[in-house]
Structure 1
């Protein structure tokens, strides 16, 4: 009876949390609808004369509006641009070339930042003082936590950063080929510089626009999320797959499948076993949606199943340990294809 009472309390708490989440989601959707009001195209008011700031004379050079990485090294070269931006709405736009399997980045920094020679803007000494938009589509700010959701930056595409220093709060918005990206940043510092980063021979960045405009280009976009400067960002959840730990030896895949069906539709449920068929004490459940997975965590984390309190959390994929480029080698993905999870007791 005591266990049933605790389960009822957990369900009530989960239901209350779900109602709060839905209210916040509805408020965000209402704001998106308001933002979708057709706005006039921004008028280009005042081109800004860029002044590139090179941390050294060996990692990159300038030819007109083009920054070119040196041919004889693979060192980071982070080039910031004057003037410092403190007011108005300013757009900084350009295109990268020659990816060559090495990343490039673009972003803003607090105006107090001075990039050293061969430094990456994501280095610890700049933690919390920069925002980096990487060519893999992720943005970072503190502790190198990558927030996915924006488009990749491909060779030759225009990537634009637009800061609105007149709005409250001040904002940073990203664009790829003129299309606004869903992840943006608010509460940016009152004084910033734009910067770009190259790290491989002959990579280039061509600056095509640096100007003030009369009104923001920002509008409402689907699945938008605003990150706050100065806060420790948590990755945006985009998976409906769950890790389930603390499973008792007698619990089967069918058992966890039935349990998770209490909170939503289950696509698959598997207990990981050894080659001899013995449970390894954990498993994976794939729900029908991210929302259903979140609901499962709220309701089922800590639930007793066959005498054990189970742990339920989002599945996280282990980062790859580098690129294998030798002849005859192959870059492998997850070892757990088709629910053959017998190789690891971690999330991946």
Structure 2
């Protein structure tokens, strides 16, 4: 109906009507007009299809562009998130580093505060007429016998709540020398022999090469062999650990296998000397930050 209307409109425009005598020409003209309309319709259809294709292509390109933009936005967001996470991680690491440095500083301060401490050396002298005590250099002290008599001299320092060491060196002792500990509550008389009753139960000692031949003696053991028979000029060290209740001996820096265990009370270091002109130098007296002794092969414990 639309196409017929268009043809009639064209005929009227050309001055043609149904009453014309030139029917054949009109028929031909109508056919031509129909073809023209058909071509116009096809061209319009093609134009519309091209337009639709352009619109579809545009929409596809727009969607592709939108997808790219969206991916870029997502990537940028992920980058920002990753950057924030890295910044947070770096910030945490910096804080941990600061804390670690502070902790190390605190440890250093703590270590500095618990370094080995020198203790002033002083004695209980039970026999001043026989025993002289000299200051050597403001730190070391020397004991010297004026005449022959067996004596035990104790240091005044009470050994408790810590680890203590004493270094000793004998001279001109004629193989009569010993080192050890005494019960703090015991007052040592002049001329006492620590291996005889009733004094024996208060002492424990490690003897030199002549007197006991390197034995370790306690109230329960008359003499346990195994340690070096220390001589004049040897440096003898005693290390007492009140936490473990042990007394360990060293000679010239070498730990000895026989030691005393089971010490559960306050004690003091002692020195035993006998002959005239014998001297004993106390090289050091310290409270230690940590024990220097260790487990060694062949260790033998003697009960206090």
Q: TM-score, normalised by structure 1?
A: 0.50
- Measured after TM superposition, the shift of residue 44 of structure 1 is 4.8
Contact between 1:89 and 1:214, CA under 8 Å: does it hold in 2? Answer: yes
3-state SS of paired residue (2:189): coil
Alignment counterpart, residue 199 of structure 1, candidates 271, 274, 277 = 274
Residue 40 (structure 2) aligns with: none
| In 2: Cα distance, 1:187 partner to 1:93 partner | 22
Q: Does 1:178 align with 2:253?
A: yes
The structural deviation recorded for 1:128 is 2.4
Q: 1:253-304: per-residue Cα shift (whole Å, max 9, x none)? A: xxxxxxxxxxxxxxxxxxxxxxxxxxxxxxxxxxxxxxxxxxxxxxxxxxxx
Q: CA RMSD in A?
A: 1.5
Which structure carries more strand by proportion? 1
Asked if structure 2 preserves the Cα contact closer than 8 Å seen for 1:151 and 1:181, the reply is: yes
Which whole-Å CA distance do the structure 2 matches of 1:88 and 1:150 have between them?
Answer: 25
- Shift >3 Å, 4+ stretches: none
Please give the secondary structure, in 2, of the residue aligned with 1:124.
coil
1:16-165 superposed matches below 5 A = 44-64=115-135, 65-70=141-146, 73-100=147-174, 102-135=175-208, 136-142=213-219, 145-165=222-242
Question: C-alpha separation between the residues in 2 aligned to 1:88 and 1:164?
Answer: 6
- On the 8 A contact 2:178/2:273 being kept in 1, the answer is yes
Q: Distance in 2 between matches of 1:140 and 1:124?
A: 13
Residue in structure 1 matching 2:286, options 208, 211, 215: 211
Q: Across the two proteins, how many residue pairs are aligned to each other?
A: 182
Q: Which structure has the bigger radius of gyration?
A: 2
Q: Tell me, which stretches of 5 or more residues in structure 1 are unaligned?
A: 1-42, 230-348
Q: How far apart are residue 148 of structure 1 and its match?
A: 0.5
What is the rounded CA distance, in whole Å, between the counterparts of 2:296 and 2:221 in structure 1? 26
For residues 200-220 of structure 1, the C-alpha deviation after alignment (integer angstroms, 9 at most, x for no partner) is: 011011001100111111112
* Alignment gaps of 5+ in structure 2: 1-113, 136-140
Deviation of residue 127 (structure 1)? 2.1
The 8 Å contact of residues 221 and 302 in structure 2, kept in 1 or not, is answered as: no
Cα displacement string for residues 35-84 of structure 1 (whole angstroms, at most 9, x for unaligned residues): xxxxxxxx8521111211111222211111000011xx311121100121
Check whether the contact 2:215–2:224 (CA below 8 A) recurs between aligned residues. yes
Give the conservation status (yes or no) of the 8 Å contact 1:66–1:204: yes
Greater percentage in helix: 2
